[in-house]
Amino acid sequence: MTTRTLPVETENHWFQLVQTLKGNRQKRSHERLFFVEGVRSINPLRGNPRWQAEALLYPAGRRLSGWANDVLAEVVAPYHLAVKKDLMDRLSDREESSEIIAVVKIPATGLEDLPADATSRFVLLDRPGNPGNLGSIIRSCDAFGVTGIVIAGHAVDPYDPLVVRASEGAFFTQRIVHAGNQSSLDAWLGRMARDVPAFTVVGTSAKSDTHIADCPLSGPTLLCFGNETLGLSPWLKSRCATVAGIPMNGVASSLNLACAVTTVLYEVHRQSRKS
């Protein structure tokens, strides 16, 4: 691929595009692009064929570090944008302007792209509403070897920069797909039940009397977690073989969603090591 190096000295279309991608979900969806900043988030793009960069931005006239030069050399992108310092400062969310900002293509993936075999373990998030929670959940999914993350219903945009940043780079290790609509999710669940022996769907609820540790979780499993306020939808609960909870002491009625997901994933990990 031939890379073009372009100067960005005014609020031209490149500047406006990157600025809008940061805060506008509709723009990200329409352009199929998203904003990435930070060393931990950009490093996974290096030599990673699953992700394609559209542009790499760096401050014009600034001596770049060895890391930044390596990123420019290793992350393939059709455009390198040398951005005037004050404009780069406005695009960056860092106290000290980042050396590199990446504009990355949103891949065209769906439920059909998720692996379906005896080792498959998925997390389904029903209408998650908090970007920080979602980013932390992605980190936990990476830590505990989750095969893929399914997002159902009207939810926070997984390509929101706050989600990407909170994931600390784990975002680029995970397959994250949106379920689309109820019928497509139902069809996928049917295919998994047909094609993967012992595949089971386990829901979670703070009101359940079933201990999560009493559920067999070492096989192919879909773990369903509800919205931070509303919990699992009745429809999703009806698709679960079991709905389990995490025993708690103290005054809080439930755990933060990211904490709950991490706790359940550790239980999956514990059971898998014993099996």
State whether 194 and 97 are in the same domain.
Answer: no
What is the number of residues in the chain? Answer: 275
Beta strand extents in 61-147 (DSSP E only): 79-83, 101-105, 121-126
Residues 185, 87 share a domain: no
Using a 10 angstrom Cβ sphere, with 0-12 exposed, 13-18 middle and 19 or more buried, the burial of residue 181 is exposed
37 backbone dihedrals φ, ψ, rounded to 5°: -145, 145
Given a contact cutoff of 8 angstroms between Cβ atoms, the answer to whether 159 and 259 are in contact is: no
Q: What angle do CA 175, 181, 185 make, to 5 degrees?
A: 60
**pLDDT of the residue at 209:** 86
What pLDDT was estimated at residue 207?
Answer: 86
Kindly state whether residues 130 and 252 are assigned to the same domain. yes
Q: Identify whether residues 93 and 220 lie together within a single domain.
A: no
pTM score of the predicted model: 0.93
- Which of 73, 66, 78, 142 shows the shortest CA–CA distance to 104? 78
Looking at residue 253, its pLDDT comes to 66
Residues 212 and 117 in one domain: yes
Q: Which domain holds residue 240?
A: 111-274
Count how many domains the chain has: 2
40 and 80 belong to one structural domain? yes
% of the chain with per-residue pLDDT over 90:
84
186 and 145 share a domain?
Answer: yes
pLDDT at residue 254 tops 80: no
- Burial-class residue 86 by CB neighbours within 10 Å (0-12, 13-18, 19+): exposed
Q: What is the pLDDT of residue 275?
A: 67
